[in-house]
Amino acid sequence: MTQTMYDKIWHHHVVEERGDGVALLYIDRQIIHEVTSPQAFEGLRLANRKLRRRDANIAVPDHNVPTKNRHLPNPDPSSKEQLETLEQNVDAFDVNYIPMDDIRQGIVHVVGPEQGITQPGITMVCGDSHTSTNGAFGALAFGIGTSEIEHAFATQTLVLKKSKSMRVKIEGTLPFGCSAKDMALAVIGKLGTAGGTGYVIEYAGSMVEGLSMEGRMTLCNMSIEAGARAGMVAPDETTFNYIKGRPFAPKGGQWNAAVAYWKSLVSDEGANFDKEVTLTQDDIVPLVTWGTSPEDVIPVTAEIPAPSSFADPNKQVAAEASLDYMGLAAGTPMQEVSVDRVFVGSCTNSRIEDLRQAAAMIKGRKISESVKEAIIVPGSGLVKHMAEEEGLDKLFIEAGFEWREPGCSMCLAMNPDKAGPGEHVASTSNRNFVSRQGPGARTHLVSPAMAVGAAIAGHFVDVRNY
Amino acid sequence: MKAFKTVTSIPTPFPRVNVDTDVIIQGQFLKTIKRTGLGVHAFNSIRYDREGNHIPDNIFDRVPYNSASILVAGDNFGCGSSREHAPWAIGDMGYRCVIAPSFADIFAGNCAKNGIVTVCLPQEQIDILVAEGQAEREITVDLEEKTVTIEGDKQFSFDYNAVHRHMLLNGLDEIGQTLQSDAAITAYENERRLVTPWLFSE
């Protein structure tokens, strides 16, 4: 019987079938950060339980870490408490840990792949919905809640119901001026934020195959924004070349065995998907969100839609509320919307390739005087180091950007990096929810090149003409 | 976990679509190391104005909804983050059940693990329940029978994940249950160690 990649990985991990599509599924890797883990560790402690497998877990602080003045005491006592609690927990439970002052520290979903922790064919979980990023390697990787973190700690398994499968094919060559972020936004625009609910997506097609690992991670990262539990890309030579030689990668004689296993995971010819969606290169243009849901996406050349243009009355109400919150009028050309802040970073767009794309837009220009703050936050200390070796930091600083230390930063504003009420942010992050980047902040999701273009012009621009 | 059999309440009508986890509990309130005390911060952008002043007649704090234990919501409720803080916050407000046309997967799973039942019903039935809430009439959700009842009037049936239903009805500790499969987990691990030895460093 033909199987999809998801079918194969699922079947390889079933410890016990429980009927009705539910299984006790084995978990190979868990990554941990400070926000969603304290209550899970507390649960273990209260029940007098231990970690089942020390070597399957790794922790790194990211959400709360300041991106500047790290040598000073943390300005926020509750952030400080969460970071200290993580340190106490990894100590007490003997968990692998990458501390804040380690060059490998960064956003969990940047660190996992970078260290070779993320590999094809594994099941990988983290108390963070953007764990879907790791599916770029052909892993089954998904976000879980704190109760499930505790369950995986104690049992190395989860009780799960198998999702349906969807194949999203994107065919053609990535158009000039576009990136994997525009592909991700196009998919969400097409599916809607609930379109993937109940599904695991496999991305395929020539445009996906042509992406680097960084691009595939950006694409898989936003699967959760379409409601999907996980996103995956079949492992190929691009994947193997990325993994080889990384600290947690298979070594010596195990390497060839691993590659042979990984190659066996790809979906069989003629495998049945519950749903198929196809996009072509005509669907991929520089995109910007105008509202407070990632599905509120339009080409940068378009005008902000009127609520009456939506067929569904509930969507009309939501669009009105969105426009009110965003302080935008229907019919305004997107390129006339000015930006107050610019943020390049997050688990979506903070890898070396994202920073290269951002830097390429600068071309000796400076950020607009109307922009209050423009920050570049690398995804890890190693990304930061690599960018500095290439001289990208100098390009950013000379143009007026701030060059920061790695972390989640202004993606969700749990650290001091925030936008003020009413401010418009050109952001490479993944969510434009109400108050996501600070109470009252207005987020527009864009690619790294589009964010830099907006920083230079002071408003959104079509990077293809820039 | 607290067992769930039935709950009867005037439902809070909140039929907005795509209510995300940031709407349920904003990022600034995630800096806690406890599961409790999040109710006061739930639905912050609806209960407080942009200056942080409480809006007294907001739907959640208005009588009778301030003591409701059922929430009737719009499509795709709980989309966004995997943060379990969202069900903790809703539970802390006193809700034991959310009824909507659809839920985000992770949110629904997180609810089940915290004794909150998520009931999916078609939009036409949601519209009726919203009207019941607005009219301040009680409804009953019965997990054993998998029904929602409007007293003396209609009854709607719903499907529910069999594993979650069993856990919820009996208030079971899921980890305790899984640990009964310890031998099967060990057997799996021993086999997996042979197939993918590179995933085991100890």
Q: Which of A108, A148, A135 is nearest to A25 (CA)?
A: A148
Q: Which of A396, A351, A395 is nearest to A376 (CA)?
A: A396
User: What ipTM did this prediction achieve?
Assistant: 0.94
Q: What gap in Å lies between CA A318 and CA A324, rounded to an integer?
A: 10
State yes or no: A411 annotated in a binding site. Answer: yes
Identify the three-state secondary structure at position B105: helix
- Closest residue on chain B to A36 (Cα): B83
Q: In chain B, what residues touch A258 (CB-CB under 8 Å)?
A: 196, 198
Q: What angle do CA A258, A16, B160 make, to 5 degrees?
A: 120
Around Cβ A336, how many Cβ atoms within 10 Å? 10
- Residues within 8 A of B (CB atoms), A 324-383 only: none
Q: In chain B, what residues touch A198 (CB-CB under 8 Å)?
A: 105
Which of the residues B35, B126, B196, B200 would you substitute to probe the A interface, choosing the one with the greatest number of A C-beta atoms within 10 Å?
A: B196
Which of A39, A56, A145 is the closest to B106 by Cβ?
Answer: A145
Q: Under an 8 A CB cutoff, do B31 and A22 touch?
A: no
Distances (CA, A) of A111 to A115, A121, A408: 6, 18, 12
Q: In chain A, what residues touch B105 (CB-CB under 8 Å)?
A: 163, 197-198, 227, 229
Tell me whether A434 touches chain B (CB under 8 Å): yes
From B179's Cα to the closest Cα of chain A, the distance in A is 7
Chain center to CA of B99: 9
Tell me whether A30 touches chain B (CB under 8 Å): no
Q: Under an 8 A CB cutoff, do B31 and A82 touch?
A: yes
pLDDT tens sequence across B22-65: 999 999 999 999 999 999 999 999 999 888 899 999 999 999 99
User: Between A and B, how many CB-CB pairs are < 8 A?
Assistant: 201
Backbone angles phi and psi of A87, in degrees to 5: -60, -45
Q: In chain B, what residues touch A78 (CB-CB under 8 Å)?
A: 31-32
pLDDT by residue for chain A (466 residues), tens only, comes to: 899 999 999 999 999 998 888 999 999 999 999 999 999 999 999 999 999 999 999 999 999 999 999 989 999 999 999 999 999 999 999 999 999 999 999 999 999 999 999 999 999 999 999 999 999 999 999 999 999 999 999 999 999 999 999 999 999 999 999 999 999 999 999 999 999 999 999 999 999 999 999 999 999 999 999 999 999 999 999 999 999 999 999 999 999 999 999 999 999 999 999 999 999 999 999 999 999 999 999 999 999 999 999 998 888 999 999 999 999 999 999 999 999 999 999 999 999 999 999 999 999 999 999 999 999 999 999 999 999 999 999 999 999 999 999 999 999 999 999 999 999 999 999 999 999 999 999 999 999 999 999 999 999 999 999 8
Q: Under an 8 A CB cutoff, do B81 and A85 touch?
A: no
Which of the residues A146, A317, A346 would you substitute to probe the B interface, choosing the one with the greatest number of B C-beta atoms within 10 Å?
A: A146
Tell me whether A293 touches chain B (CB under 8 Å): yes
A217-234 burial: b if 16+ Cβ within 10 Å, else e: bbbbbbbbbbbbbbbbbb
Tell me whether A235 touches chain B (CB under 8 Å): no
Q: What gap in Å lies between CA A437 and CA A425, rounded to an integer?
A: 8
Distances (CA, A) of A10 to A99, A121, A162, B118, B164: 33, 9, 8, 26, 20
Both tokens of B45, joined, read: 């952008």
From B160's Cα to the closest Cα of chain A, the distance in A is 11
Q: What gap in Å lies between CA A4 and CA A389, rounded to an integer?
A: 41
Q: Under an 8 A CB cutoff, do A145 and B22 touch?
A: no
Backbone angles phi and psi of B23, in degrees to 5: -70, -40
- Quick check: A171 and A205 in contact, CB under 8 A? yes
Q: In chain B, what residues touch A161 (CB-CB under 8 Å)?
A: 161, 163
Q: In chain B, what residues touch A151 (CB-CB under 8 Å)?
A: 174-175, 178
- Quick check: B187 and A156 in contact, CB under 8 A? no
